[in-house]
Amino acid sequence: MSEMTQKRRCTPVIELLPSLKSTCLHSGEIIERRKERIIKHRIEQIETTGNTIMAPTLPFKLNNPDLFRDQALSGGQWVESKTGKRFDVYDPGNGKVWATAPDCGPDDVDAAVKSANEAFHEFRRVNPRTRAQWMLKWDQLIRENRDDLAQIVTHECGKPLFESQGELDYALGFTWWFAGEAERACITANRVYVQKGVYDRFAEMLAAKTKEIVLGHGEMLLTFARDCVGDGEIAYDRIKICIPSGQSALIVIG
């Protein structure tokens, strides 16, 4: 290739650089203006339709289109950020923007924390059975919408669909387990919580009942509990560790 040919091919590129820079700046202004129009449009939607906004168009199909919401959940309502700002959500698989979300700031956080604190105090008064029913309902909703939720997770995180489904199956283990635990009380074997009003009577009855316990080898007919012959030193060491923390305690001997 001659020197003249190389020069001809390089010159247009060099000459284009200023115009490319100008084009990039112009494109940036267009993007910012487009974002402003989107924000203004969504604020107008909220003002005219209240808190109800139609689900956005997605690049994938959901069996339950109403499942996807691109707003923030605060105080039991779907809301925009107080500034109206939003940020793009990219699909890591192709680098394309497929959704936007509220760009929440300090004021939004304060409002969310306040509503969460109010909800906590209300939830404290909810009886265990109702809590269990709510957890089971949540579990049911996840199961019914598992495949749709997996689609959303995959487009948001970029992970394979089967991993997203596995993540939801893993989450279901928690909702199911905590629903079953909601009505349970602490039954730890090494301590008993007793109301102050019946403590003295309870301690007296416990000591009397303890005297009836028969210790011995498990093969003996009347044995209620085994003795500590085999691990006496271990039990003694454990007791020594507990002595300092219980120096002001009252020992009831059975």
CA-CA distance, 25 to 81, in Å (whole number)?
28
The answer to the question of residue 1 being in a domain is yes
Tell whether 6 and 63 lie within a shared domain.
no
pLDDT at 234: 74
CA-CA distance, 90 to 57, in Å (whole number)?
15
Paired sense of beta strands 77-79 and 97-102, if any: unpaired
Residue 147: which of 175, 168, 171, 173 has the closest Cα?
168
Tell whether 58 and 118 lie within a shared domain.
yes
The answer to the question of residue 251 being in a domain is no
The answer to the question of residue 241 being in a domain is yes
Domain of 24?
A: 1-50
CA-CA distance, 21 to 173, in Å (whole number)?
54
Q: Which 3 state secondary structure label does DSSP give 229? A: coil
pLDDT at 118: 95
Which residues face 90 on adjacent strands?
Answer: 97
Tell whether 46 and 58 lie within a shared domain.
no
pLDDT at 25: 47
**Would you say 193 and 145 are in contact if contact means Cβ atoms under 8 Å apart?**
no
Tell whether 133 and 117 lie within a shared domain.
no
Tell whether 142 and 118 lie within a shared domain.
no
What lies within 8 Å, CB to CB, of 208 at 6+ separation is 254
Tell whether 180 and 132 lie within a shared domain.
yes
The answer to the question of residue 215 being in a domain is yes
Tokens representing residue 235 in the block: 């039990």
Which of 50, 68, 84 is the last residue before a domain boundary? Answer: 50
Q: Which 3 state secondary structure label does DSSP give 8? A: helix
Tell whether 90 and 135 lie within a shared domain.
no
Tell whether 242 and 202 lie within a shared domain.
yes
Which of 125, 146, 174 is the last residue before a domain boundary? Answer: 125
Tokens representing residue 246 in the block: 């219980």
CA-CA distance, 83 to 193, in Å (whole number)?
51
Tell whether 59 and 111 lie within a shared domain.
yes
Q: Is the pTM of this model over 0.85?
A: no
The answer to the question of residue 143 being in a domain is yes
Query: What is the count of structural domains for the chain?
Result: 4
Tell whether 115 and 69 lie within a shared domain.
yes
State the 10-residue block means of pLDDT for the chain, 254 residues long: 45 41 50 55 47 63 92 94 95 93 96 95 92 95 96 94 95 94 75 88 91 79 71 72 75 73
Burial of 71 (0-12, 13-18, 19+ CB in 10 A): middle
CA-CA distance, 53 to 177, in Å (whole number)?
35
Tokens representing residue 138 in the block: 């949540």
The answer to the question of residue 189 being in a domain is no
CA-CA distance, 221 to 180, in Å (whole number)?
37
